[in-house]
Amino acid sequence: MNEKEFFIYLGNRYSDKIRFHFKKEKGKILDLLVQYESIINEKWVAIVRYDCAHGFFHRDILHPKGDKEKKVIDVPDLKYGFKFAKQDMEDRWEWYKEQYLIKMTNDK
């Protein structure tokens, strides 16, 4: 089994990135994690995560207090799920971050 991890930085600073971690065998993705992270208060914080923990592909929107919103995403296979998650985060990372920061302010 082949396991890989890499990052793509977003925007024109190095304070936002997408983490990719996956396991492949014979060209097929068996397990994956695609996670948007941002530096908030001088620490890397996970804001949105796609994975197949719990036995199904889903998105977790993470909140400052530690709770999360889970949504099942129906995909034909994890290769498609990988592409879906990557595109969603590239398109919406600024919105995800803005929503996280709003929740931080409202939770005070």
- From residue 52, how far is each of 43, 60, 86, 98 by CA, in Å? 25, 11, 15, 25
| Token couple for 38 | 């941002």
The CA distance from 108 to 104, in Å, is: 7
pTM (2 decimals)?
0.91
Give φ, ψ of 85 to 5 degrees. -65, -45
- Confidence bin at 108 (pLDDT 50/70/90): low
- Confidence bin at 1 (pLDDT 50/70/90): confident
Give φ, ψ of 27 to 5 degrees. 80, 0
| Token couple for 47 | 């804001």
Q: Of residues 12 and 97, which shows the higher confidence score?
A: 97
Give φ, ψ of 18 to 5 degrees. -110, 125
Q: How many domains does the chain have?
A: 1
**In this predicted model, what pLDDT tens digit does every residue of 26-35 receive, in sequence order?**
888 989 999 9
Tell me the pLDDT of the chain averaged across its residues.
Answer: 93
**In this predicted model, what pLDDT tens digit does every residue of 34-83 receive, in sequence order?**
999 999 999 999 999 999 988 899 999 999 999 999 999 999 999 999 99
Instruction: Tell me which residue range forms the domain holding 52.
Output: 2-106
The CA distance from 93 to 95, in Å, is: 5
